Structure 1
């Protein structure tokens, strides 16, 4: 059992003290979900092996009453196995499979493009001793381009990203959380992307009235405002220019069946639209 109901978490932070790693964010939420308090070991990219006594060069890492556990998914699985009497994070194995698919989709759809827009802030907001590492590693990640060149044109790329998140909006129009009536580890993995985004976004990434705002705000407010670090930036307020695409579908009822099929009456309006008829025909 965790000593004094506390688990030690090795954090990956910016100069502001805000967590930069989405994997660490997900782990913070997993620990809080299980009802534990955290003893946070601060630090940035530099010196991870030294801070952890050579246990790892990647974070997150936790220590639970002397036992080290590495990797964010393994930590969540460990917490479920070790503390089955506390609220479940993953539960059925299918939750992990579907959650990993959604997470990979979100990384490809949004985090990659957002990184090209906020990479300079990612570097500039990091701890001073981390600047060289972030510059060299991220420029290598982007094929040797300079960070200052990678972000060029971001004002044109940013408006292209919100429309691609409609898959999430469609689900959240029907359910309060990806876990259904309450959040689970899938919510935390996806929220972690937006927590990462808020740690580096010097200009808003999403429109002010984005329907995702309700889920994001509720997620950031969980566990006493775990996601409300003062070093985070506002996510909402991206203006729409004349030729920018619509950031989200404003009439979701016009896009496919959105209600349960309980007979012809429940699908009449959609059928009429498909036939090009008036809804009452």
Structure 2
């Protein structure tokens, strides 16, 4: 990065060292967009409280000098991005105006419902298995009790081969935008791109089976997005996003 000032990110990482949290991914891109340096404090879920001096148990966040800023864990809130625009208005803005922020909020909420929600069920056991060993008991208990209605991770992930192809056509609105413009932000990337890319970075962090086919039209935008800021989205611990085998017409007809 080109800036001299550093923002500290309290990361949520997997055993492979890559970030799992889409919130943390979006934070890192937002900081880089501002031209600031990123100082990573590594660790997983169960060490977050100790790393932040007891300030949070699960909310990914940043420290900027004496300021601590944590996300709410709800899509479309952008607490850290709002802080960065307020604290550094002289640097490139993440949100050009309230209308642009509403556009990004809609896009983020739509992608969470369209992609993360179905992919979560397809990769929940992978999610657990790729966590740091000390985090796995917490992840299993919290996900099974809080998100899966008491079902096991194994039960929920079973049958994903049939479910994964169903997500592909649901991404068409995103493809339509990117057929007309190189970035969701227009001629240059902005927080619309970073929020959307964070969804695909989350998928790459957990997906042992690729979620997207090799010929996915979004591939060019995703690859360019991962390459931004000296390859911020490139980490050797990430899994391939592309390679999903789609059913043929004959397969679909049985």
TM-score normalized by the length of structure 2:
0.92
> Where in structure 1 are there 5+ consecutive unaligned residues?
247-281
Does structure 1 retain, via aligned residues, the 8 Å contact 2:22–2:202? Answer: yes
Q: Hey, what does 1:84 align to over in structure 2?
A: 89
Q: Hey, what does 1:196 align to over in structure 2?
A: 202
Secondary structure of the structure 2 residue equivalent to 1:58? coil
Q: Hey, what does 2:130 align to over in structure 1?
A: 125
TM-score normalized by the length of structure 1:
0.83
Q: Hey, what does 2:174 align to over in structure 1?
A: 168
Q: Hey, what does 1:216 align to over in structure 2?
A: 222
Q: How does 1:110-121 map to 2 (within 5 A)?
A: 110-121=115-126
Q: Hey, what does 1:148 align to over in structure 2?
A: 154
Q: Hey, what does 1:177 align to over in structure 2?
A: 183
Secondary structure of the structure 2 residue equivalent to 1:161? helix
Structure with larger Rg: 1
Q: Hey, what does 2:24 align to over in structure 1?
A: 24
Q: Hey, what does 1:255 align to over in structure 2?
A: none
Q: 1:197 & 1:173 partners in 2: Cα distance? A: 23
Does structure 1 retain, via aligned residues, the 8 Å contact 2:4–2:36? Answer: no
Q: Hey, what does 2:69 align to over in structure 1?
A: 69
Q: 2:65 & 2:251 partners in 1: Cα distance? A: 52
Q: 1:47 & 1:230 partners in 2: Cα distance? A: 23
Q: Hey, what does 1:265 align to over in structure 2?
A: none
Q: 1:139 & 1:221 partners in 2: Cα distance? A: 35
Secondary structure of the structure 1 residue equivalent to 2:40? strand
Q: Hey, what does 1:50 align to over in structure 2?
A: 50
Does structure 2 retain, via aligned residues, the 8 Å contact 1:13–1:20? Answer: yes
| Bigger relative CO (Cα 8 Å, ≥ 6 apart) | 2
* 1:4, distance to aligned residue in structure 2 (A): 4.2
Q: 2:102 & 2:9 partners in 1: Cα distance? A: 25
Deviations 1:190-229 (A, max 9, x none): 1000000000110111110111001100100000100111
Q: 1:227 to 1:245 in 2, by over 3 A?
A: farther
Deviations 1:38-92 (A, max 9, x none): 1100111103222101222233211112221222712111111111121111120
Q: Bigger shift: 135-144 or 162-171?
A: 135-144
> Where in structure 2 are there 5+ consecutive unaligned residues?
72-76
